Amino acid sequence: MTIGTRRKLAVLVAAIAILAMAVTGCDTAEEPEEAEGGEAVTVTIGVGAPLTDGAVALGKGMVRGASLAVKQANESQELKDLGLTIEVVEGDDKGDPTTGGNVATQFTSNPNLLGVMGHLNSGVTRVAVKIYNQANVLQVSPANTAVDLTEMGMANYFRVCTIDSVQGPAAADYAYDVVGAKVAYVVDDSTVYGEGLAAAWAGQFEANGGTVVEIEKTGDKDTDFKALVSKIKAANVDIVYYGGIYNSGALLSKQLKEGGVAVPMMSGDGCYDAEYIKLAGAANAEGDFCTSIGFPVDKLPKAQDFKSAYEAEYPGEAIAAYDAYSFDAAQVIINAIVKVAKDLGTDKLTTTEGKQAILAAAADSDFEGVTGNVSFDEKGDTTNKVVSVYVVKNGEWVPAE
């Protein structure tokens, strides 16, 4: 072997090593330390959410909500008696289906991972859920609203939020009956979530007797809507509906108002965040509507406990749209794990039998969560179907009349 080829070989090996590190996320898995009794078992819950790209504000809130639930569980006597500890692993799906698939593969390669709380984006879940399904890993989403996700026959998939076939029409009714809009322009961001929501809204708005001038497609990372704004201005509409996430939605609202389209923009739960108002500018966002799933956090019976615990754990952080839902979704997973640990013993948790028992236990969930009663129908959809409308007033989202 000459020096030349040896050097080439070294470069090749180094390249493969770097690639391998990148693929595995260079997380050298820490061995769970055995407690004195030797009986202690540590299991993992994955939290899949957009943390560096996409709807980051919502994604980080999901991690906080789920981590709070796990922390409270670990402190409970019930888990201590079982000798069970639950840890949280974050996976950054960037709101992107391809990255989400990688996150799912990474999650399922961990044998101690028993459930995934996530993902935020319906498009991400559509890819990831199949990977979890093959590994018998429970997935509970706090935020997926695309209708078809529970119609794919995935026994491992549940969600604690209402779906777009409820949210879209509720929003359209509000726009037609309460706002009094008769002519609408609909824009979506070409994602599974945005398209589904916009189509549901448009269908109901037309069924009510309204006119939808057009359903226009944009991209979920677009920032330039100037040409579209000129087009909407020429169409003389009463309302603009946007199906998508706040990143682009806020800029559309801003450019609409700056371009002289002085009508409110309405959107779905993806825009229900303070970031929306910050990005659009308070003056531009004023009077915009959005719907979100469930009741406002303040109005829920158990919400006060959640709020005070949250503020103690994360001082200075505002509660984002899905934090309470993430808390409940994580609770579904925790409850299922605890039930199986009691029935089969903690050593059986990570076996296939244990994982399947966890799926069955999750399907039977029935408890009073922060967001209301948490239970699922046979498809895995929540039985708690509530949608609330919010409006921007003085630079804040407040519940609309």
Partner 1 sequence: MTFSYLLEQTINGITLGGLYALVALGYTLVYGILLMINFAHSEMFMMGGYVGLGVLKVLSDPAVAAKAGMGFLEPAQSFFNSGTFGFVALLIATFGVSAIVVGVLGVLIERFAYRPLRHAPRLAPLISAIGVSIFLQNAVLLWIDSKQLPYSRADGSAFLTAQTAFNVGGVNVSTMQVFIIVTSIVLMLALDTFVSKTRMGRAMRATSQDREAAGLMGVNINKVIALAFFIGPALGAIAGVFNGFYYGSVKFNMGFIPGIKSFTAAVIGGIGNLRGAMLGGFLLGIVESWASGFLSNAYRDVIAFIVLILVLIFRPGGLLGEAVTEKV
14-22, 52-60, 135-143, 296-304 -> range binding partner 1 (CB under 8 A): 52-60
**247 interacts with partner 1 by CB under 8 A:** yes
Per CB under 8 A, the list member of 130, 278, 307, 385 interacting with partner 1 is 278
Per-residue H/E/C for the chain: CCHHHHHHHHHHHHHHHHHHHHHHCCCCCCCCCCCCCCCCEEEEEEEEECCCCCCHHHHHHHHHHHHHHHHHHHHCHHHHHHCEEEEEEEEECCCCHHHHHHHHHHHHCCCCEEEEEECCCHHHHHHHHHHHHHCCCEEEECCCCCHHHHHCCCCCEEECCCCHHHHHHHHHHHHHHHHCCCEEEEEECCCHHHHHHHHHHHHHHHHCCCEEEEEEECCCCCCCCHHHHHHHHHHCCCEEEEECCHHHHHHHHHHHHHCCCCCCEEECHHHCCHHHHHHHCHHHHCCCEEEEECCCHHHCCCHHHHHHHHHHHCCCCCCCCCHHHHHHHHHHHHHHHHHHHHHHCHHHCCCHHHHHHHHHHHHCCEEEECCEEEEECCCCCECCCCEEEEEEECCEEEECC
Count of chain residues binding partner 1 (CB under 8 A): 37
Interaction with partner 1 in 283-322: which residues (CB under 8 A)?
Answer: 283
**124 interacts with partner 1 by CB under 8 A:** no
**12 interacts with partner 1 by CB under 8 A:** no
**353 interacts with partner 1 by CB under 8 A:** no
**259 interacts with partner 1 by CB under 8 A:** yes
Per CB under 8 A, the list member of 7, 80, 221, 342 interacting with partner 1 is 221
110 or 230: whose CB is closer to partner 1? 230
Interaction with partner 1 in 178-197: which residues (CB under 8 A)?
Answer: 187, 190
CB of 192 to partner 1, least distance (A): 16
51-59, 130-138, 155-163, 323-331 -> range binding partner 1 (CB under 8 A): 51-59
Which residues bind to partner 1, rule: CB under 8 A? 51-53, 56-57, 187, 190, 214, 216-218, 221, 223-224, 226-228, 230-231, 234, 247, 250-251, 254-255, 258-260, 275, 277-283, 395
